[in-house]
Amino acid sequence: MPDFNYLEKLTSQVRRDIIRMVHGAKSGHPGGSLGCAEFFVALYFEILKHDPHNFSMDGIGEDIFILSNGHITPVFYSVLARSGYFDLKELSTFRKLNSRLQGHPATYEKLPGVRMASGSLGQGLSAGIGAAQTKKLNNDPNYVYVLTGDGELEEGQIWEAAMYAVSHKVDNLIVTVDFNGQQIDGPVEDVMPLGDLKAKWEAFGWTVLEMNGHRFDEIFKTINLARENYGKGKPVIILMRTEMGKGIDFMEGTHEWHGVPPNDEEAELALSQLEETLGDY
Amino acid sequence: MLNQTGVKSDSQVLMKKYEVTGLKDTRSGFGDALLELGRENENIVALNADLTGSVKMSHFAKEFPKRFFQAGIAEANMMCVAAGMTIGGKISFVGTFANFATGRVFDQIRQSIAYSNKNVKICASHSGLTLGEDGASHQILEDIGLMKMLPNMVVINTCDYHQTYAATKAIADYHGPVYLRFGRPKVPNFSLKDDPFVIGKAVTLNEGSDVSIFATGHLVWKAIEAGLVLAEKGIRPEIINIHTIKPLDREAVLNSVAKTGCVVTAEEHQINGGLGDSIAQLLGHEMPRPLEMVAVKDKFGESGKPDELLKKFNLDSPDIVKAALNVMERK
């Protein structure tokens, strides 16, 4: 049984990291990062079978995670550091010159924990499918996890990948959509309505699950269901309802904080709403 | 057909003789080597986007169905799936027409293959004008430029069946992204089965002292034809096959130009961004000398037979001869 109390503490600390990183860099994407904090904590501290202190690009015998909506690096780097991929102190270099912590995930500077560059949207799902197919070829029974944004589903390549994964029966892949309903220009509903997403994915032949991305019990239950999909010959996708900016009252539920860092006052106000549980970096 | 016996002057051979062992398509060299690679190495996987037969990957697909992946007409996804497959040790060979293998998916290659430094081999058939009758929509003449601009990317353009076979084998042993460009028509095969292929190492086909002719791809044979004509005029052409455009064999280029003092480049590509550009850049920095480029002059192609197109767009052997005579005048 996971220690929910500890996971909540971690989540608060990760949210503090996010605010401090984007404030420190005076640049970055706090909104989507805050909204995915529980998901990343659940993934990196409970779900993934991985070896943070001995990162290998090939990830043989491990689960693999690929971040397709690459702009939410603050939350990604925070959990990578806090789970042991690299020193916590390195978080202070985020988006600065000569850092391994690039604005968007990259392998070029060899940051442990990153296996694919992303940022240009719509590509990570395809890469995850490829990694999952290689696991099958290698008789490696572990999973590949992919996170995409909801606005990202507007990219045509997503639907190419949707067809391919069904055609090739990729059932060792667990895709999650951060369904926060917001993108840079405004609500997804206004920018490019996605319609009935569940029906769309089902029509493509996927098993579709849904969960609240801010509740650990739902995250564990749903991911377990998704894992049981292995061997059934169908890919699975989880529509994860989240709130952009979650945890900080003035950032919640709006696209305004998609890619805007808080100023000094705003950062102070934001941090006053998040308990420092495990020590700032 | 030109006289291939070589031309003698003062009992010295000015132009080496090359024997044509038959007309074969470069794409078959790729397909046959891929099949062989499949047999040698179980980490070889192959992907294609509904052009498996045209790109000559059918033999691999038939013999290794579990390692062959049909992507449908969806190249963007295919490129990134190929990149993902390398996580875990596979070597991905992706095949489609050169246009769909580069221009259509430039951003996928840039981010997921080149920037991510994945062990993907982009194997592109039907490149250039010699695709023929399908016309300009399919005749990509910008692919070398697009690919050579990407950091981490190796760019290779082979000249005949045997060289394409050898190159395909060689890139499997190299770890990192590669763009391998070949074509559709049957062309003279003159390379030998056992000729070595070293990535980044140019092949000197004829040693000379009057003019350096650097050619790549299908135009290597045209350069050999041109060399015979030049030799008849008493000129000693140095002919070098630059099969690897990136990394360019700087030493081979500079050594040759130091000797001859003038340069012709020949390629089935736009004048912007191709082999000529790379050589002009190197010489501009290191050894400025008169240079003429045989390439497509900032135009789109059109329908026609491969040989008709090479003539119309001034990429034929007489065009190389003319360029050589012009550039020697400028010395």
Q: pLDDT by residue (tens digit) across B291-318?
A: 999 999 999 999 999 999 999 999 999 9
pLDDT score of B201: 98
Q: How does residue A204 score in pLDDT terms, banded at 50, 70 and 90? A: very high
Domains of chain A in start order, with CATH, are 4-272 (3.40.50.970)
Q: How does residue B8 score in pLDDT terms, banded at 50, 70 and 90? A: low
Q: Do A130 and B70 touch (CB under 8 A)?
A: no
> Which residues of chain A make contact with B110, given a CB cutoff of 8 A?
120
Q: Do B84 and A58 touch (CB under 8 A)?
A: no
Burial of B135 (0-12, 13-18, 19+ CB in 10 A): middle
Q: Do A59 and B87 touch (CB under 8 A)?
A: yes
Q: Is the peptide bond before B247 cis (omega within 30 degrees of 0)?
A: yes
The number of residues in chain A equals 281
ipTM value for the complex: 0.97
Distance between B50 CA and the closest CA of chain A, angstroms: 13
Asked whether residue B1 carries a pLDDT value surpassing 50, the answer given is no
Domains of chain B in start order, with CATH, are 14-22+196-329 (3.40.50.920), 24-188 (3.40.50.970)
Q: A254 φ, ψ to 5°?
A: -135, 155
- B90: closest chain A residue by CA: A134
pLDDT score of B12: 57
Q: Do B81 and A133 touch (CB under 8 A)?
A: yes
The mean per-residue pLDDT over the stretch B128-142 comes to 96
CA B113 to the chain's CA centroid: 20
pLDDT score of B78: 98
- B268 near B307, Cβ under 8 Å? no
Strand order in the sheet with A173-179: A64-67, A144-149, A173-179, A236-241, A207-212
Nearest to A130 among B85, B107, B110 (CB): B85
Percent of chain B's residues with pLDDT above 90: 96
Q: How does residue B11 score in pLDDT terms, banded at 50, 70 and 90? A: very low
What would the pLDDT profile of B176-193 be if each residue is shown by its tens digit?
999 999 999 999 999 999
What would the pLDDT profile of A118-175 be if each residue is shown by its tens digit?
999 999 999 999 999 999 999 999 999 999 999 999 999 999 999 999 999 999 999 9
Residues A30 and A72: their CA atoms lie apart, in Å, by: 7
Percent of chain B's residues with pLDDT above 70: 96
Test mutation, B73, B79, B87, B92, chain A, max A CBs within 10 A: B87
pLDDT score of A1: 80
Q: How does residue B4 score in pLDDT terms, banded at 50, 70 and 90? A: very low
The mean per-residue pLDDT over the stretch A84-89 comes to 98
pLDDT score of B7: 54
Q: How far is CA B248 from CA B98, B209, B237, B275, B282, in A?
A: 21, 21, 21, 9, 9
pLDDT score of B9: 53
Angle between helix axes A4-25 and A264-272 (nearest 10 degrees) is 170
Q: How does residue B270 score in pLDDT terms, banded at 50, 70 and 90? A: very high
pLDDT score of A15: 98
- B82 near B95, Cβ under 8 Å? no
B91 Cβ under 8 Å from any chain A Cβ: no
pLDDT score of A84: 98
- A221 near A240, Cβ under 8 Å? no
Q: Do B72 and A168 touch (CB under 8 A)?
A: no
Test mutation, B41, B81, B110, chain A, max A CBs within 10 A: B81
The mean per-residue pLDDT over the stretch B47-64 comes to 98
pLDDT score of A265: 97
Secondary structure in 3-state letters for B230-298: HHHCCCCEEEEECCEEECCCHHHHHHHHHHHCCEEEEEEEECCCCHHHHHHHHHHHHCCCCEEEEEECC
Residues A279 and A9: their CA atoms lie apart, in Å, by: 11
The mean per-residue pLDDT over the stretch A102-108 comes to 97
Residues β-bridged to residue B121: B93, B178
> Which residues of chain B make contact with A64, given a CB cutoff of 8 A?
87
pLDDT score of B86: 98
pLDDT score of B140: 97
How many Cβ contacts (< 8 angstroms) between chains A and B?
119
Residues B179 and A190: their CA atoms lie apart, in Å, by: 41
Q: What is the DSSP letter of B314?
A: T
- B279 near B295, Cβ under 8 Å? no
Asked whether residue B5 carries a pLDDT value surpassing 70, the answer given is no
Asked whether residue A224 carries a pLDDT value surpassing 80, the answer given is yes
Asked whether residue A26 carries a pLDDT value surpassing 90, the answer given is yes
Q: Do A123 and B90 touch (CB under 8 A)?
A: no
> Which residues of chain A make contact with B82, given a CB cutoff of 8 A?
130
Q: How far is CA B8 from CA B179, B206, B209, B317, B330, in A?
A: 40, 14, 15, 20, 26
